[in-house]
Chains A and B, each alone.
Chain A
């Protein structure tokens, strides 16, 4: 179908082949390095002593590549590389704008911290089962989803990290893990199938899968093509992935079953990929459809926020509580998407970065509480304030951050979202954001009061506690808290990243232009 395009571009510019220098590889390195590392570990699966060291080295290199990429994106704008010199819109383009680069950097950082935590949490059996290869392939999939510029390729990366996450989820093969994994697998497969069908539909309408090309052709097809249908189906698929309200029941059913380090990465990263996909499709590709659907998204956001945190109030297992707090945070991010102004979008981006760090740290902290107190249950924990004061301090910090209180990272994104909601005259959205913050404070305050302040409980079964490791235990949570405190106390650099990302989302022209005229290295 020939489409008139709203953004005139000179496609011939894409056919000029430049030389790809080493630094251009920063676009692909965050995906290629973990794949190579994961494949290597798969080959030496039984040499479990090597695994942690190799995985950590690969993750550190990946993080370095992400930082180089972020620095390049800050200096020169969106970075593009098209695979195999099959030029856009035909080849698969990797396209790192500020949004993708910032998310990939944060995700790799959180995964690196989790890999160190796994030193103690995953024993030799878990390693032989393949924990570290799965971990590396999962981060490859997550980074691929953040950095790809092709919507079918986005689907492929979704599959890569979902399949790796199945492996991580059933590590240990316990009965309740299989139970959680079945729910997780079935509902995720439904979501990816809807995603795939919609992408097929989109290809039939547009004749292209390159996201910049889709964005360019959307205006010309809006009169004749069923873009509203496609956008709604994407909302369904990605909303399910992101655990938005009516489709979020898979998350609390499965996230408390695996090893705590796996829960931490799932809670920190995987739902945020869904949020990223929503941001990408609804601002870069279908901005008009987003405006039409904004009321629907707002209702979903409010329900996700409030019902998520109310669900958290009812739980007695800390891991389930955190699972519901994760859901509530997704609602807050969707609120920014519903408002859609640049301020709201930058609030959402900053909130997602904050959420990756804080939710990973919260789960890891729950693991430490289990080590110190011998249980995940709020009925059984107690007296940790006296026995582990450092743990109490970290829990307090995470509680303030998750609830959006100063001086940690939750404050600024919520301020931005509330301000944007007031500017957009969305009073009930403002009210919902504030209400969910208050309720989050109560939820985590309850955890704090019961497990830290309450005197130690007499356990029915003797507790299998063990001393907390200073590096793999406290160290990892503290490392995750460093950027969180930084965002809280000196937010300017992060605000600049979020604002650049939001500006790039609000103006698809720069995203399109980076592929079709300034062919960075292809």
Chain B
């Protein structure tokens, strides 16, 4: 897929999709969306970038190995469950808090970190499968 149009458009398209995936991830807190679907969108962004420009630039752009990202996500999700240890409630109980900064109020919750973890697991796992398949095509 080495057409000029696709190769020129792909980086912009991919960066837009990653941005959109973060939007979907955060939107999932109260509305349709969330970590899984957001992760899929981000993974398709990396896949498109890989199809257009080859696998090596994607790996360079991601910096961390996709499997390491998936491992980080799993760790984050499990650690979000462990927060309840300090609060004397069962594993994975949702905990909410508000952080007041000048001008804004940020709602934080352990559920959100769990969802971030899901996002990273999906991004890491699907991207590493996609990149492996794209690499196989080249040789």
Could you say which residues of chain B place their CB within 8 Å of the CB of A25? 85, 91
Which chain A residue has the least Cβ–Cβ distance from B84? A20
Q: Which of B9-17, B24-32, B68-76 contacts A (4 or more CB under 8 A)?
A: B68-76
Complex contact A39–B88 (CB within 8 A): no
Q: How far is the CB of B90 from chain A (nearest CB, A)?
A: 5
Partner of B93, one of A41, A43, A46, A84: A84
Complex contact B88–A43 (CB within 8 A): no
Q: How far is the CB of B66 from chain A (nearest CB, A)?
A: 11
Complex contact B89–A39 (CB within 8 A): no
A415 CB-CB contact with B under 8 Å: no
Could you say which residues of chain B place their CB within 8 Å of the CB of A28? 91
Partner of B85, one of A22, A35, A83, A85: A22
B58 CB-CB contact with A under 8 Å: no
Could you say which residues of chain A place their CB within 8 Å of the CB of B90? 20, 24, 81-85, 521-522
Complex contact B92–A84 (CB within 8 A): yes
A82 to B90 CA separation, bound complex (whole angstroms): 7
Complex contact B71–A81 (CB within 8 A): no
Q: How far is the CB of B95 from chain A (nearest CB, A)?
A: 10
Partner of B91, one of A32, A42, A130: A32
Q: How far is the CB of A149 from chain B (nearest CB, A)?
A: 13
A21 CB-CB contact with B under 8 Å: yes
CB-based A-B contact count at 8 angstroms: 68
B79 CB-CB contact with A under 8 Å: yes
Task: With A43-B72, A45-B67 as known contacts, state yes or no: A36 contacts B89, CB within 8 Å.
Answer: no
Partner of A19, one of B68, B71, B88: B88
B33 CB-CB contact with A under 8 Å: no
Q: How far is the CB of B72 from chain A (nearest CB, A)?
A: 5
Complex contact B91–A84 (CB within 8 A): yes
Q: Is the interface of A mostly helix, strand, loop or mixed?
A: helix
Could you say which residues of chain B place their CB within 8 Å of the CB of A45? 65, 67-68, 71
Q: How far is the CB of B58 from chain A (nearest CB, A)?
A: 18
Q: Which A residues, 223 to 256, have Cβ-Cβ distances below 8 Å to chain B?
A: none
Task: With A83-B92, A85-B89 as known contacts, state yes or no: A42 contacts B78, CB within 8 Å.
Answer: no
Q: How far is the CB of B109 from chain A (nearest CB, A)?
A: 12
Q: How far is the CB of B88 from chain A (nearest CB, A)?
A: 4
A82 to B89 CA separation, bound complex (whole angstroms): 10
A360 to B65 CA separation, bound complex (whole angstroms): 34
A41 to B71 CA separation, bound complex (whole angstroms): 8
A38 CB-CB contact with B under 8 Å: yes
Complex contact A42–B88 (CB within 8 A): no
B82 CB-CB contact with A under 8 Å: yes
Q: How far is the CB of B54 from chain A (nearest CB, A)?
A: 22
Q: How far is the CB of A479 from chain B (nearest CB, A)?
A: 29
Task: With A22-B85, A32-B82 as known contacts, state yes or no: A43 contacts B75, CB within 8 Å.
Answer: yes
Q: How far is the CB of A163 from chain B (nearest CB, A)?
A: 11
The 3 closest A-B pairs by CB, nearest first: A42-B71, A39-B75, A39-B74
Sample of 17 further A-B pairs with CB below 8 A, known A43-B71, A83-B92? A25-B85, A35-B78, A36-B75, A36-B82, A38-B74, A39-B74, A39-B75, A42-B68, A42-B71, A42-B74, A43-B75, A45-B65, A46-B65, A81-B91, A84-B90, A85-B90, A133-B71
28 CB-based A-B contacts, threshold 8 Å: A19-B89, A20-B88, A20-B89, A20-B90, A25-B85, A32-B78, A32-B81, A36-B78, A38-B74, A39-B72, A39-B74, A39-B78, A40-B71, A42-B68, A42-B71, A43-B68, A43-B71, A45-B71, A46-B65, A81-B90, A83-B93, A84-B91, A84-B93, A85-B93, A94-B91, A130-B67, A133-B71, A521-B90
